[in-house]
Amino acid sequence: MDEINTEAPPKDGAQDGGKRWRNKRTPRGGKRMGEVKEAPKNRDHSENRVGDPFSGGVNRNGEGWFGRMRDAITANKKSHEERLGCYMNFGSKEKSIRFAPLGGLDQIGGNIAVFETEKSAIIVDVGMSFPTPEMHGVDILIPDFSYLHAIKDKIAGIVITHAHEDHIGAVPYLFKELQAPLYGTPLPLAMIGSKFDEHKIIAHKNFFRFVEKRKPVKIGDFEVEWIHMTHSVIDACSLAITTEAGTVIHTGDFKLDNSPIDGFPPDYHRLAYYGERGVLALFSDSTNSFNLGMTKSESIVGKTFDDLFSKAKGRVIMSTFSSNSHRIAQAIDSARKFGRKVAVIGRSMEKNLSLAMELEYVKFDQKIFIDAHEVAKMPDSEVLVITTGSQGENQAALFRMSINEHRHIHIKPTDTIVISAKAIPGNEASISTVVNQIAKSGATIAYQEFSEIHVSGHAAQEEQKMMIRLIKPRFFIPVHGECQHLLKHKETAISCGIPERNIAVIEDGEQIDISAQGIRKIRGVRCGKTFIDNQINREVESDVVYDRQNLAKEGIIVLIMQIDKKEQKLSTKPSVMSYGLVAQKRERAFNKELEGVLDSFVRGIRPEEYGNMKMIENNLRQAMKKHIFRSLKRYPIIVPNIFVQ
Q: Are residues 145 and 249 in the same domain?
A: yes
Percent of the chain whose predicted confidence (pLDDT) is above 70: 89
Taking residues 365-378, report their average pLDDT.
Answer: 94
What is the C-alpha to C-alpha distance for residues 566 and 445, in angstroms, rounded to an integer?
Answer: 73
Percent of the chain whose predicted confidence (pLDDT) is above 90: 64
What is the C-alpha to C-alpha distance for residues 505 and 514, in angstroms, rounded to an integer?
Answer: 13
C-alpha dihedral, 133 to 138 to 139 to 142, nearest 10°: -110
What is the C-alpha to C-alpha distance for residues 362 and 635, in angstroms, rounded to an integer?
Answer: 57
Taking residues 542-565, report their average pLDDT.
Answer: 89
**Roughly what angle, to the nearest 10 degrees, separates helices 268-277 and 461-471?**
50
Taking residues 449-470, report their average pLDDT.
Answer: 92
Letter for the amino acid at 419?
I
Sign of the CA dihedral with 519 first, then 524, 525, and 530 last: positive
- pLDDT for res 87: 58
Query: Which residues lie across from 531 on neighbouring strands?
Result: 141, 540
Closest CA to 74 of 62, 85, 86: 62
Q: Is the pLDDT of residue 27 over 80?
A: no
Which residues does 524 contact at the CB level (< 8 Å), separation at least 6? 509, 510, 511
- pLDDT for res 50: 47
Give the pLDDT band (50/70/90) at residue 48.
very low
Q: Is the pLDDT of residue 314 over 60?
A: yes
Query: Is residue 287 a part of any domain in this protein?
Result: yes
Query: Mean of the per-residue pLDDT values for the chain?
Result: 87
Q: Are residues 3 and 64 in the same domain?
A: yes
Residue-wise pLDDT tens digits, 143-188: 999 999 999 999 999 999 999 999 999 999 999 999 999 999 999 9
Query: Is residue 537 a part of any domain in this protein?
Result: no
Give the pLDDT band (50/70/90) at residue 603.
confident
Taking residues 470-477, report their average pLDDT.
Answer: 96
Among 55, 84, 113, where does a domain finish? 84
Query: Is residue 546 a part of any domain in this protein?
Result: no
To which H or E segment does residue 532 belong? strand 529-533
Q: Which residues of 316-337 are buried (b: 16+ CB within 10 A; e: fewer)?
A: bbbbbbbbbbbbbbbbbbbbee
Give the pLDDT band (50/70/90) at residue 5.
very low
Letter for the amino acid at 555?
G
Q: Are residues 352 and 490 in the same domain?
A: no
Count of Cβ atoms closer than 10 Å to residue 484 Cβ: 11
Q: Reduced to 3 states, what is the DSSP secondary structure of residue 237?
A: strand
Closest CA to 414 of 374, 390, 383: 383
- pLDDT for res 461: 98
> Rg of the chain's alpha carbons, rounded to an integer?
34
Q: Is the pLDDT of residue 11 over 60?
A: no
Query: Is residue 550 a part of any domain in this protein?
Result: no
The DSSP call for residue 368 is G
Q: Are residues 287 and 308 in the same domain?
A: no
Determine the length of the chain: 645
Give the pLDDT band (50/70/90) at residue 19.
very low
- How does DSSP assign 155-191, residue by residue? EEEEE-----HHHHTTHHHHHTT----EEE-HHHHHH
Closest CA to 462 of 250, 255, 231: 255
Closest CA to 391 of 107, 131, 106: 131
Sign of the CA dihedral with 67 first, then 68, 69, and 70 last: positive
Query: Is residue 205 a part of any domain in this protein?
Result: yes
Give the pLDDT band (50/70/90) at residue 88.
low
- pLDDT for res 572: 86
Among 412, 428, 446, where does a domain finish? 446
Q: Is the pLDDT of residue 33 over 50?
A: no
556, 579 Cβ separation under 8 angstroms? yes
Q: Is the pLDDT of residue 40 over 50?
A: no
Q: Are residues 33 and 170 in the same domain?
A: no
Q: Reduced to 3 states, what is the DSSP secondary structure of residue 546?
A: helix
- From edge to edge, which strands make up the β-sheet containing 140-143? 140-143, 529-533, 538-540
Query: Is residue 544 a part of any domain in this protein?
Result: no
Query: Is residue 42 a part of any domain in this protein?
Result: yes
Give the pLDDT band (50/70/90) at residue 487.
very high
Q: Are residues 241 and 132 in the same domain?
A: yes
Give the CATH number for residue 383. 3.40.50.10710
Maximum CA extent, the chain: 130
Q: Are residues 442 and 467 in the same domain?
A: no
Letter for the amino acid at 122?
I
Q: Is the pLDDT of residue 68 over 80?
A: yes
Q: Are residues 115 and 235 in the same domain?
A: yes
Range of the domain at 251: 97-293+456-532
- How does DSSP assign 389-451, residue by residue? -TT--TTSHHHHHHTT--SS----TT-EEEE-S-PPTT-HHHHHHHHHHHHHTT-EEESTT-T
Q: Are residues 599 and 525 in the same domain?
A: no
- Asked which of 27-31, 178-182, 364-368, 382-386 is least confident by mean pLDDT, the reply is 27-31
Q: Are residues 420 and 504 in the same domain?
A: no
Residue-wise pLDDT tens digits, 425-451: 778 888 999 999 999 999 999 997 766
Q: Is the pLDDT of residue 8 over 50?
A: no
Cα–Cα–Cα angle for 530, 533, 535, nearest 5°? Answer: 155
Closest CA to 216 of 293, 143, 175, 273: 273
- pLDDT for res 606: 85
Give the CATH number for residue 584. 3.10.20.580
Q: Are residues 496 and 417 in the same domain?
A: no
- Return the higher-pLDDT residue of 487 and 33: 487
Number of domain units in the chain: 4
What is the C-alpha to C-alpha distance for residues 81 and 52, in angstroms, rounded to an integer?
Answer: 28
- pLDDT for res 353: 94
Among 414, 446, 478, where does a domain finish? 446
Residue-wise pLDDT tens digits, 570-587: 888 888 888 899 898 898
Residue-wise pLDDT tens digits, 495-544: 999 999 999 999 999 999 999 989 999 989 999 999 999 877 788 898 89
Q: Are residues 336 and 309 in the same domain?
A: yes
Query: Is residue 548 a part of any domain in this protein?
Result: no
- Work out whether strand 529-533 and strand 538-540 pair parallel, antiparallel, or are unpaired: antiparallel
Give the CATH number for residue 514. 3.60.15.10
